Structure 1
Amino acid sequence: MIASQVVVTVVLFLFAIRLLGAATDALTPSLRKVLDRVIVDDRSALGLSWIASYVLANGSIVAALSLSLFNSGLVLPSQLFLMIVGSRLGGAAVVVFIGAFDYLNEEIESLRESTSLGLLTFLLTHSIYLPAMALGYVAMPAIRTGEGHSRMLPDLEVSLPDVISVIADIIIDSVGAGIAFLLAIGCILVSLQLFDHILDGIDKQRLRRRYVSRLQDKWVSFGLGLIVTGVTTSVAFSLGMIVPLYNRGHIKRNEIMPFVLGANIGTLIDTLIVAIALNTAVGVLTVLALVTGGSVISVVVLVFYAPYSKLIDRVQNRIVDNRGYFISVLLSLLLVPLLLIVFP
């Protein structure tokens, strides 16, 4: 039963990627007019994907869309890289907004309770991906070539079954490229939700009993977060295994932090799969550049884990203990990406 559900979900995901790519190609003239006004340089590309992650409340969809835009020649390699980074920064901030809304609506009485894990994930994500963005951006000239193709990797020979391509083309001809574009995004979202539903059937209690005692070792904790998230391509599942224990005080903050760091790297696996499915070597290298940069920074952080964890603790406590600081952080999460777009 589970095997058939997985097959259906994978086929739906691959179909959605193929439909998104075909629809983007068909909409290239129209999209170019819009993007030429919005994405005037690399910084505006970062801001656009950051804001788009808020609108869609899903960084993975924004990353997939960015790869599709690049594959259609609508964004440059450096802009693609920053758009993928923006999808991760925005995706991490969405959890903070959700916690803040719960608090403001008096769904949860304590600001610390409503934003505890969300703010921690946000701080960890930004502390890793901002320096990783700097490292990867410097490496971008080595990835792209004159015509936007890479000679560093052989041509990708991954191709989707002809029937998927035929169905995608039929849909575009029937409903139009615009509707097909929106349908593709919806199918990606549905496939991700279906996969999360499948993972809900896995015995998390058994996994907790097997692995939670090992979280005390920072390297094992990091590796588990990376592997579990990479294999399942679901941060919701990997964090869902340990969040209940964290909320009940069974896992300390310094034990869960390496796990979240690993999950932040593993969550890029689905983006890598999209790049492979779209047969874009530069896209694959761009994702790998971010994965490599994030991994290097994470390893450095774990080597100097004691001062790093104390710094994160200090910053998080300062934010949640002072409502003015908290509001300032929320405003900055809205204003920074907007300013990147408006004042490139």
Structure 2
Amino acid sequence: MPHDDSRLLTWIRESGPVLFGALAALGLFLFAVQLLGASTEAAAGPLERLFRRIVSGDGSALGVSWLATYVVTNGSIVAAISVSLFDVSIISSTELFLMVIGSRLGSAAMVLFVGALDYFQKHRYSLGHATELGLLTFTVTHSIYLPATVLGYLVLPSLEHSVGGLIVGSVPGFQLLVVFQPITRAVVSSLGVWPGLAIAVGVLFASLTLFDRTLGRVNTTWLREGLFGRFRNRWVAFGIGLLVTAVTTSVVFSLGVIVPLYNRGYVKRREIVPYILGANIGTFADTLAVAILLESSVALLVIMTVLGTGSLVITGFLVWYPAYYRAVASIHNRLETDRRVLGAFLLALLLVPVLLVALPV
């Protein structure tokens, strides 16, 4: 019995900070979603006028979210704000679709920029080593969402027409957020709309950061030892990437946990690509949660369209995986080995979203 008590105390001591951090992050996330909804609703008029000064078409909506992800360095926050803007009718369903896509394109590019900046500033590693995983993540992510953008943009109007009417009002209410209503209303009324909106974004960022740091305390040895051997099956690797990212709502964690294996050669590039494909679908778990918590059924349809088109593209990649992998490896190798190509490529990642915003497309 004393031995059992000792084991229980050890488990509590080791797991307590993780559980407390996860619950605190969840509470902050729920509060941030409620405050974000209340603030955007109160500021709907000014926000719409401001948005229309910047966004002149669907292309600029894509560019704005892409650039915004660079600024806040977190695609989940940009996607959550986009859903909130749609919930108060500031943006259309098509613009929401493109802004969610933009948050993914921007997130992938951020990994590259950080690695390249580290190389050019300190030259600690070779250029290839500093940008290797970032380049691979970027190449895989954009290979998914460039075709998914075209496909989703074409089918979304038909889906809204045929399915939208059936799902309006079908998202169940979540009384969980009612607890925060008195606090969020007090914040907006006492501090004002714009400070309330700024606080909402800050708390949302804090909740996701806290969750990432909490996950950093988790002993991932068992995860690596138990799963990396199964990566040889591309469908299993895809499923693991999807599941780990969806459960943790963190690409930082799901990719970070596999980095030591990848760097040490335990997992080959050919085996990790399906895992990254899965992580790109699992990453929408928190965006789906925001749409459900705000009880926005059409926003839920839009997010499901992103997931559906992305999943369709990924399925094709996995079915014809040898050909897909050869294409990814070819692009990755060229970017990794040629500094001039990489420099031009990084410059294009800044210019393309700027041009999308500047030109009426």
- The residue number in structure 1 matching 2:193 is 177
Cα deviation, residue 163, structure 1? 2.9
1:328-343 superposed matches below 5 A: 328-343=344-359
Alignment-derived partner of residue 286 in structure 1: 302
1:29 — aligned with what?
A: 45
Q: Per the alignment, do residues 128 and 181 of structure 1 end up closer, same or farther by CA in structure 2, a change over 3 Å counting?
A: same
Matched, 1:152 2:158: no
2:62 to 27, 46, 54: 46
Task: Give the Å deviation of 1:37.
Answer: 1.3
Describe the shift of the 1:237–1:155 C-alpha distance in structure 2 as closer, same or farther (beyond 3 A). Answer: closer
> Which amino acid in 1 is paired with 2:126?
S
1: CA distance between counterparts of 2:176 and 2:321? 44
Equivalent of residue 81 in structure 1, options 87, 97, 121: 97
Provide the secondary structure at the position in 2 that maps to 1:144: helix
Q: Distance in 2 between matches of 1:335 and 1:230?
A: 32
Quote the offset at 1:150 in angstroms. Answer: 4.2
Q: Does 1:299 align with 2:315?
A: yes
**Which residue pairs with 2:230 in the alignment?**
214
Q: Structure 1 CA distance, aligned partners of 2:48 and 2:261?
A: 48
Per the alignment, residue 321 of structure 1 pairs with 337
Q: Work out whether residues 143 and 152 of structure 1, in 8 Å CA contact, stay in contact via their aligned partners in 2.
A: no
Alignment of 1:134 onto 2:140: no
Q: Which has the larger radius of gyration?
A: 2
Tell me if structure 1 keeps the 8 A contact 2:73–2:110. yes
Once the two structures are superposed, residues 163-190 of structure 1 have per-residue CA deviations (whole angstroms, 9 ceiling, x without a partner) of 3011000011111111111111111111
Q: Which runs of 5+ in 2 are unaligned?
A: 1-15
Displacement of 1:314: 0.9
- % identical aligned pairs: 45
Which of these residues, 105, 119, 143, is aligned with residue 121 of structure 2? 105
TM-score by length of 2: 0.92
Shift, 1:256, TM fit:
0.6
TM-score for the superposition, normalised by structure 1: 0.96
Contact 2:171 2:292 in 1 (8 A): no
- 8 Å CA contact 1:128–1:298 kept in 2: the answer is yes
Corresponding residue to 1:6 among 19, 22, 27: 22
Alignment deviations for residues 121-165 of structure 1 (CA, whole Å, 9 cap, x no partner): 00000000111111211121134359x964335143223343301
**Structure 1 Cα separation of the partners of residues 173 and 239 of structure 2:** 30
C-alpha RMSD of the superposition: 1.6
2:293 is matched with 277
Separation of aligned partners in 2, 1:139 and 1:152 = 17
- Over 6 Å off, 4+ runs: none
Q: 1:149 & 1:25 partners in 2: Cα distance?
A: 22
Q: How many residues align?
A: 343
Of residues 198, 201, 204, the one that matches 1:188 is 204
Task: Give unmatched runs, 5+ long, in structure 1.
Answer: none
Q: After TM superposition, give the deviation of residue 28 of structure 1 in Å.
A: 1.3
| d(CA) in 2 for partners of 1:274, 1:150 | 21
Mapped contact 1:143–1:150 kept (Cα < 8 A): no
**Aligned AA (1:133):** T
Rounded to whole Å, the distance in 2 between the matches of 1:112 and 1:210 is: 29
